[in-house]
Homo-oligomer: A and B are copies of this chain.
């Protein structure tokens, strides 16, 4: 969908003449009361569920949760997935042409925030004729968007479902983002963010960024269970006389975990835009609804009016349960209607994307209740 009206941004800049790519699933009911907006995190898109005809491995990123008969049942709900501006999956972003210059935005794409994305999403809802959403749902950075909806448009959603998220990033979270950004920005192939003109990609930096990310998505225990200290077969590489299977090399892969990380880094560097990586990690850094209230999160949530379902995972050390409890406390301070589920799951931050029966059970029950009120 094309938007001719400029979008004013938090930074004071504006995004003009922009396009949002979106997908919908299910049918909007006559009362227009059954729409659920699903917000994506760092490397996902509008394609939240289903597959594209004739395309293998085209499954939506939250397909285990969303679809006919699934916890978010598209037989009952009208689900909207939208790619945020600044991303690299079709909506206006750094890879697209700057209307003033005729070349890709690159590093000149304006810095966008969670609030900017929510504003863009609200305009999409306007255009779709949806005055009030049954729910906004998101995990991680998507959860921040769901929270932001409850603050910016308190009357335009009945439920906010925020999974594996936080009211802001900790210093450690920002630190990991910053290292990833430095790896990208200092890659000579980044060319100050204008690498498109040089027919190259800052693959080295993207690989390192993705490897760091992956470490923070998995729990220590899950990594230990999945890889431990297992040595990788070396094929023809010489190994030591002690028959340990080790090649004694600083550059060859010795351990399975190294192989996994390098593979993830390689894959990512081929499909993800470096400028988008910078923008999205910055949006994470900036999100802090309490900032305007002197750091008082309770004050920030005073204006919220919808009902909340907050979910965290015990082994998520990126956005630990403690961070979700801060949100719950702020809501309880204002006697908001909030349910909180802390799921014992071994998979760390990644758990929000996985098909855990207790986790999906909570969401199924919650959406069942919403469906009854929407009917």
- What residues of chain A have their CB less than 8 Å away from a CB belonging to chain B? 10-13, 107, 110-111, 168-172, 174-176, 178-179, 181-183, 185-188, 204, 207-208, 211-212, 214-215, 218, 220, 223-224, 226-229, 240-242, 244, 246, 248-251, 254-255, 257-258, 261-262, 265, 275, 278-279, 281-282, 285-286, 288, 291-292
Q: Which residues of B contact A279 (CB under 8 A)?
A: 250
Q: Say whether chain A's binding surface is mostly helix, strand, loop, or mixed.
A: helix
Please, which residues of chain B bring their CB within 8 A of the CB of A282? Answer: 249-250
Q: Which residue of B lies closest to A208 (CB)?
A: B183
Contacts of A228 in B (CB 8 A): 171
Q: Are A171 and B227 in contact (CB under 8 A)?
A: yes
- In angstroms, how far is the closest chain B Cβ from the Cβ of A170? 6
Contacts of A214 in B (CB 8 A): 175
List the B side residues contacting A171 at CB < 8 Å: 220, 223-224, 226-229, 255, 257
Closest to A253 in B: B178
- A290 CB → nearest B CB, Å: 10
A204-B186 contact, Cβ under 8 Å, with A11-B248, A250-B278, A286-B246: yes
Give the complex CA separation of A182 and B257 in angstroms. 13
A-B pairs, 4 with minimum CB distance: A11-B248, A250-B278, A171-B223, A111-B248
Contact: A220 with B257, CB < 8 Å? no
B11, B208, B262, B278: the one contacting A240 at CB < 8 Å is B11
